[in-house]
Amino acid sequence: MSVTIAVPATSANLGIGYDCLGMAVSLYSRFTFDRAEKLTITGCPEKYRNEDNLVYRSFVLALEHWGEEPFPIAIDIDTSIPVSRGLGSSSTCTVAGIMGAAALTGRIVGRAEAVSIATQMEGHPDNVAPAIMGSLVCSFTPEGALPHCIRYDVNPHLKFITIIPPYEVKTESARKIVPKEVSLSTAVWQMGRISGLTRGLESGDVELIAAACEDKLQEPYRKTLIPDYEDVRRICLDGGACTMWISGSGSTMMAVTADGLVAESLRARLASLYPTFEVHVLECDTKGVRISYDA
């Protein structure tokens, strides 16, 4: 029996929610696991077809977490999520490894336990939590405790125009450029707008989303690492989107509208102007990670 784990892409931060907000979107990676006589990995570049593969490392770490011995498996990777573009590609691998280990050993794992294990592996929950739970998630981790994850339903009318340049922004560079300290007024600015953004995404109120999504903490600095940011933002806002944010550390950008026709028109225009970019109209994924079995 083989098992397939489907994991959605995620957009972290959503502009104003630096390191605490994340949302699952309708772009997926699929990982098929089978017991085997030796480790075999297909569907990825040759240099990742070994024990250093993140999916396999997560598989082994999950088994060790449960006190079980690793065993050889075959993994096939089929992904639509580009690597190192700010859409949670590493988190999909981490989540898939954990759930693959659970499925092949018959272990029942709830979402809270899966988030806890994945957070220990990733170091933070902002991408793994929505990848596991689906929808919009606000996460925080008390010192010495497990992460708290608050899930919000996103209005189904909202569309997310996802613009993926052919270049990456290294997470290390994106973190380095963000100031380590901010003023009290900036902290207050952020807190109120996080509340407004989560409510706007729940209700589908694009005016509230636009008013709330004005970040002062990280986007003013990170946008300098994305050469096309200003032009893409202007096109999106002039074309009817209510806002645009950098997805994760970039280079992906994501614009928001409640009008499906506006979304498709912007997708076509951006694809025409930037033929080397990937441009998708995505929705919020509400289910998170899925597991299916094949006899």
Residue positions in the annotated binding site for ATP? 82-92
CA distances from 178 to 19, 201, 222 (A): 12, 26, 7
Instruction: Mark the binding-site residues, compressed into ranges.
Output: 82-92
Q: Where are the alpha helices (DSSP H) in 204-275?
A: 206-212, 219-222, 229-238, 260-273
What number of CA atoms fall less than 13 Å from residue 54's CA on the CB side? Answer: 17
97 token code pair: 């490894």
**CA distances (Å), origin 231, targets 189, 219, 235:** 26, 15, 6
Q: By the 8 A CB rule, do 16 and 212 touch?
A: yes
Distance CA 245, CA 4 (A): 32
